[in-house]
Amino acid sequence: MAIFLLGLSRCPICEEVHETSEGVELLPAVAWGESDPLWELSDAAVHASCLAPDPRQPLLARVLEAFERNRLLAPPRCLACGGEIDDPRDYIGLPWLTHDEADPLAAYSFRLIHASHVRTWKDYDAFMELLRRRVDEEPAFGWVVKTMERARGAGR
């Protein structure tokens, strides 16, 4: 979630310093590279009045809905086993992976998986193939590949 410092933080849309907390929306990190249209809004404190007419608002609303559905609802569930994630040391949180709802990676955006289940996850190979192709377009996703490979190797 955005760090908000009254009198110091700026709205990324109008670039004005936030002099009050009224009407400020704190947004989570929803973009992982500068090529993403939401990059400027990711992890930011934004005036609601600036965001409402912004052409990126509908896309942001869709991303935030997925974020809430997959990350904030209790209890969080593992992508591999469906079980509750109750150990903060034993999970990997996947980022928003695509804005294209038809992209097969869309189903994995903001999902959580027990790190201890990565090595036995039945969809691992297919997911990693899709993800490796995406790294060519967006190198920022390289950390996801490395994290998943590390978790997969930990069980060997």
Let me know: does 28 contact 1? Beta carbons within 8 Å: yes
Domain with 51, as residue range(s), is: 1-73
pLDDT at 76: 86
Same domain, 83 and 68: no
Same domain, 59 and 89: no
Same domain, 129 and 118: yes
Q: Tokens 């559905």 correspond to what residue?
A: 69
pLDDT at 156: 46
Task: Find all residues with CB under 8 Å of 59, minimum gap 6, and list them.
Answer: 37, 38, 99
Q: How far apart are CA 63 and CA 30, in angstroms?
A: 7
Same domain, 80 and 69: no
- Number of independent structural domains in the chain: 2
Same domain, 58 and 82: no
What pLDDT tens digit does each residue of the chain (156 aa) get?
A: 688 889 999 999 999 999 999 999 999 988 877 888 999 999 999 999 999 999 999 999 999 998 888 877 778 899 999 999 989 889 999 988 988 989 999 999 999 999 999 999 999 999 999 999 888 888 878 989 999 999 998 654
Please tell me the pTM assigned to this model.
Answer: 0.81
* Strand 45-47 relative to strand 92-93, pairing: unpaired
Same domain, 49 and 65: yes
Let me know: does 128 contact 144? Beta carbons within 8 Å: no
